[in-house]
Structure 1
Amino acid sequence: MTVEELFEIESFKKFKVINNNADLTRRIITVESTETPDVVNYLTPNSLLITTAMSYQNNQEGLIDLIYTLNNLPCAGLAIKLGRFIDKLDERVIQVSDELGFPLLQIPLEMTLGEVYHNLLSHLWNNQNEELLSALNTQKKFSNLVIQGTSIKTMLNNLGHALKKPVALMNPFGQIISYNSTCTKEKVALAEKTFHKYELYNRKSGEFASIKDNQVEKTSIFTIKNVGQNYYYLFVFDSKNKVAALSEMVIEQVLLIFRVSMYKNLYMLGNALKNKEEFLNILLNRYKDESWTSHQLMVIGEKYGLLDSEDYTVILGTLETFEGEKFNYTNFSSKEEQYVAIYDWMDKEINRIFNGKIIMFPEASNFRFLILLQGNCPDMLDRLSDFHDMVQKIFKINIIFSYGNSMVDINSIKFSYKEAIEGYRYGECKGNISYIKYYRPKNASELLKSVSNEQVQGFCLHILKELAYSTDEMMLELRRTLQVYLECRCSITATARRMFLHRNTIKYRIKRCEDILGNDLSDFDYCFQLQLGLILLENQ
């Protein structure tokens, strides 16, 4: 109970508040009665101390020291029976109490300290018993709701009914995800404004201290810690003060049950992401022993939002903080919870903003997200910047976005994905934005440099045979003739003109090449492979 609620009890209605600025919202957990000056060494915090102040009848300066000490404990207040040893408190005593907001109460002369002590203690015990019973009943009721698979919305409606208050639940990003039937849109807007204005994500205590804002001061905000250092927030509106409006034991039980419920929801969401990642593996052709047509992919992907589009672009979002770590689907820790929370939030935001033109896929094994653009999405860069800034602010995690190139059909999405991977590793930044990278296509020379010498030698020997690495002058001349012939699109006349040789000489040499290669040069694809082999030889 609070000091203010004390005056509502019949036995204590004649009590008076001596100082004007007393904080009557202070909690009273128990009552103590003593005349000993060093009583503070034996007091329980949040006690109401009752006394005649006998020790201070000729030394009210000592009473001031006592008030400072009691306030620091903290103590609920000091109730003095005036008229016994002290008739009137000095103004300085009252002034110090007002400066501290420390309640000074006057006990009526006709009441004995023993009467006050026993009546108040009996009332507190009764309240605590009722509170304990209420907490146990609440725990049982809400536990049953969790077991029955009740939604967060229904649980909030039950909580709001029990407290007779509007209540709402907020996610780590400052968005109200659900609220009860008596919670208005104005209160939802107030809660979301409060989150950002007062940076609630930086305040990790169980219940926040009073926020000095006329709109917010009658709102209690409780944190719900999930797996790691990740918090959701329970708002209880129109609570006159944090303690008077709520039973501490009851709210503790409610928060515990909400935590269990959200942990259960976390695993359910994790399993849903695992199923969605299975389709992503199909889309990226990771199961080499299976092949899927475009039609089959469209049919399977329809439930995930896959559309028939003229272009598809892959954007990868990589959580650099967890790079190289393994995602554990069976035992979530803080990093898994953060990944799922970020994915869920980004997915909902993308759907809200782009109305189905973009699909989010989880790639949890690499702590990445795959964002598939289906068509033109001109505002995407701005949204990626928003996502990056919010994740950085709330979770202190750095997320890097990398683009692949646009592809024209579903079966080519895997190539855009590979380019996005390359973009993340070696890509160029967009302007001065270090966390958005683009794939830079390689030219032919760069591509050839990426092939190992062993692979080059194997290919050249296979396709060019004796012409590949021979040092014989005749073989070198035949290889040079073959190269010019291919460059001249297999024209004998053009080759002879470029090499300043007779047409019959070129015919003879090409026939020798065909004999060595065991193939004629009328096949276009074969000629292309020959050209590639000759280029590889030159670049070794």
Structure 2
Amino acid sequence: MKLKELLSIGDLKTSKILTKEIGLENEVESAMVLEAIDIEQWSKKNQLILTSFYAFNGQSNELLEEFFSKMQVIGVSGLVVKMDRFITMIPVWFIDLCFKYQIPLIKISQEVSYEKILLTIYEPLLNHQTHILRTYYEVRQRFTKLEKSFPSLEAIMQEFYQIIGSPCSLKLIDKHIEINFGEQAKDGIVLSREAVTNGEFTKNDYSLLQLYSQSSVKTQQALEVSIFNSYSSNCLLLVYLNEPEIKETDLVIIENTIDVLQEKFNTERLLKKERYTRLNNLADAILQNTPANPDELESLLLEANMSLFPSYQAVAFSTRSTTIQLIKEKVLSLLRSLKVRSIFFDQHSYSVVLFNFDGANGSITKEQVEHLLAKTLESNPDLSLAISNVKPKHEIKEILMECLDILRFNEEFYSDAIVSLADIGIFRYFIQNEQLNEMDTFVPESLQQLANSNYDLFETFYQFLRNERNYKQTAEAMFLHSKTIRYRLNKAEQLLAIDFSNPLQLLNYEIGTYIIKMRRKAHEKNTPIS
């Protein structure tokens, strides 16, 4: 209750304010009779202090200044001096100190007892707290009744809207969910944000927003609170205020609603975890432990709702790095948008999305995946994806092995961020036979020496091969003059002791060049930047 409201009721109506308008908006939450000036030992914020002035007799100017300074720091609501037959006038110096430290000073006549003063102060405070507690109980009862029906987020917010009577909005920003009730501007711009001081009945942190609507050309206030939970990483509750003042009863209603929403979020998280475990186990049974019996496989596919179409294909990506772990859910969500029917399998080092579709409508291509994940690939250069071939139902067991072979190859010999089985071609033989290291034996010794000792010449030779052995295209790709390219290639031809006009000889060196280049790229990707 504000000080000016308190001074307008009961026996306090007879009081006289000696400090004009100072502190009349101060909140009053308790009262205390002053016995000694060691105020830091017993007083607290928003407390009204009663005194008969005797405690100040004989005190030095320094102690009195210190007392008033401490009152200001603590946030005392005001001083009430009760007059008696020995104290008929409050000294001017005392009033001056009240002005100096902005402490409201109220004079009460000697006819009004301390008991009446305290009763006058505490009666409205207790009535107010009783009202708040009654509000809490009634709101809790309504939500308890609602919770028995396992309500949706929409149902909880609708009940909240009916109780609080103000427009409200729940935003799960990371999940692109927004639930609104009541009339509110859709184009509101935040002009200012101010932290709201927590009260006796609040445990969450609130902000008071000043909003401006461009469409209605009006400003509006809104309370905003972040709801921390394990279901949504960015969840906001907003209440648009109809009145300039924030009521404690409204805060009690909001606090109750937050508790109910957090319970709902916990339930959703547990259900999501349960669904994830069940579907992951199902995908594991289909992809990794594929039953040999066609009927068993059909049963699993039916349970996963993955048996309607004849074609199957998968996209997999490694999740070894911490950065990829953080974006795993986002990548899975994007990949699953490629086709209507999908199921994913999540292992500790990789994730796989299996698709079921009509092959006549086209398979998943590298171009589609690259377009879908363009921004994600740009901001996460260590993300690497594998695309399997399209398989019929009876060959579904090969899909996971194809994806893992591609990922393993790309770890040792990096070729691109998105790799299909056709991209690794004959190299798959070395993966299947656990002979990836044997690939280095296909690199001519002179080519390896060139890469180690003169990388500019090696890079020119590599670009020459990539650009279809065309001198002009190679020069353009390397931003060099064509004469420089010819000079470098002539020197490389001499050092390698090969004939560029011999196609078989050049093919062997081309394979070796790609092996060196892919091995180097893989090493660069797997080496952390210091």
Q: Shorter-chain-normalised TM-score: which range?
A: 0.5 to 0.7
1:41 is displaced (CA, Å) by: 0.9
Q: Is the 8 A contact 1:313 1:372 kept in 2?
A: yes
Aligned to 2:41: 41
1:401 is displaced (CA, Å) by: 3.5
1:267 is displaced (CA, Å) by: 1.4
2:319 alignment partner, SS class: strand
1:273 is displaced (CA, Å) by: 2.6
1:97-496 paired onto structure 2 within 5 Å: 97=102, 104-107=103-106, 109=108, 114-171=115-172, 173=173, 177-182=177-182, 184=184, 186=186, 206-208=203-205, 210=207, 218-226=221-229, 232-238=235-241, 244-246=247-249, 250-281=253-284, 284=287, 286-291=289-294, 312=313, 314-316=315-317, 318=319, 320-321=321-322, 343=329, 357=339, 361-363=343-345, 366=348, 370=352, 374=364, 376-377=368-369, 379-384=371-376, 401-405=383-387, 407-409=389-391, 411=396, 413-415=399-401, 417-419=403-405, 421-422=407-408, 425-426=411-412, 428=414, 442=424, 444=426, 447-448=429-430, 451=433
1:37 is displaced (CA, Å) by: 0.9
1:163 is displaced (CA, Å) by: 2.2
Aligned to 2:474: none
Q: Is the 8 A contact 1:50 1:80 kept in 2?
A: yes
1:159 alignment partner, SS class: helix
Q: Is the 8 A contact 1:31 1:49 kept in 2?
A: yes
How far apart are the structure 2 equivalents of 1:362 and 1:43? 62
Structure 2: 5+ residue stretches without partners = 83-87, 196-201, 213-218, 356-363, 439-530
How far apart are the structure 1 equivalents of 2:55 and 2:108? 18
Structure of greater relative contact order (alpha carbons < 8 Å, 6+ residues apart): 1
Aligned to 1:85: 90
Q: Is the 8 A contact 1:33 1:117 kept in 2?
A: no
How far apart are the structure 2 equivalents of 1:29 and 1:146? 35
How far apart are the structure 2 equivalents of 1:303 and 1:137? 49
Q: TM-score, normalised by structure 1?
A: 0.56
2:247 alignment partner, SS class: coil
How far apart are the structure 2 equivalents of 1:217 and 1:114? 44
For residues 267-290 of structure 1, the C-alpha deviation after alignment (integer angstroms, 9 at most, x for no partner) is 122223334334533552533334
For residues 382-426 of structure 1, the C-alpha deviation after alignment (integer angstroms, 9 at most, x for no partner) is 4425997xxxxxxxxxx9643103533464653554256537855
Structure 1: 5+ residue stretches without partners = 98-103, 199-204, 324-337, 389-398, 431-435, 457-540
How far apart are the structure 2 equivalents of 1:321 and 1:247? 43
254-263 or 444-453, which deviates more: 444-453
1:27-38 paired onto structure 2 within 5 Å: 28-38=28-38
| Code of the aligned partner of 1:404 | A
Q: TM-score, normalised by structure 2?
A: 0.56
Q: Is the 8 A contact 1:31 1:117 kept in 2?
A: yes
How far apart are the structure 1 equivalents of 2:140 and 2:322? 38
Q: Is the 8 A contact 1:139 1:257 kept in 2?
A: no
1:37 alignment partner, SS class: coil
For residues 45-78 of structure 1, the C-alpha deviation after alignment (integer angstroms, 9 at most, x for no partner) is 54333446664588776555345434544x4522
CA RMSD of aligned residues (A): 5.3
For residues 514-536 of structure 1, the C-alpha deviation after alignment (integer angstroms, 9 at most, x for no partner) is xxxxxxxxxxxxxxxxxxxxxxx
Q: Is the 8 A contact 1:223 1:232 kept in 2?
A: yes
C-alpha change, 1:316 and 1:23, in structure 2 (3 Å) is farther
C-alpha change, 1:72 and 1:286, in structure 2 (3 Å) is farther
C-alpha change, 1:274 and 1:165, in structure 2 (3 Å) is same
Q: Is the 8 A contact 2:189 2:211 kept in 1?
A: no
How far apart are the structure 1 equivalents of 2:405 and 2:100? 73
For residues 486-511 of structure 1, the C-alpha deviation after alignment (integer angstroms, 9 at most, x for no partner) is xxxxxxxxxxxxxxxxxxxxxxxxxx
C-alpha change, 1:2 and 1:86, in structure 2 (3 Å) is same
Q: How many residues align?
A: 400
How far apart are the structure 1 equivalents of 2:331 and 2:9? 52
How far apart are the structure 2 equivalents of 1:438 and 1:70? 72
1:221 alignment partner, SS class: strand
How far apart are the structure 1 equivalents of 2:18 and 2:351? 61
Q: Is the 8 A contact 1:316 1:420 kept in 2?
A: no
1:164 is displaced (CA, Å) by: 2.4
Q: Is the 8 A contact 1:206 1:222 kept in 2?
A: no
C-alpha change, 1:108 and 1:37, in structure 2 (3 Å) is closer
C-alpha change, 1:234 and 1:444, in structure 2 (3 Å) is same
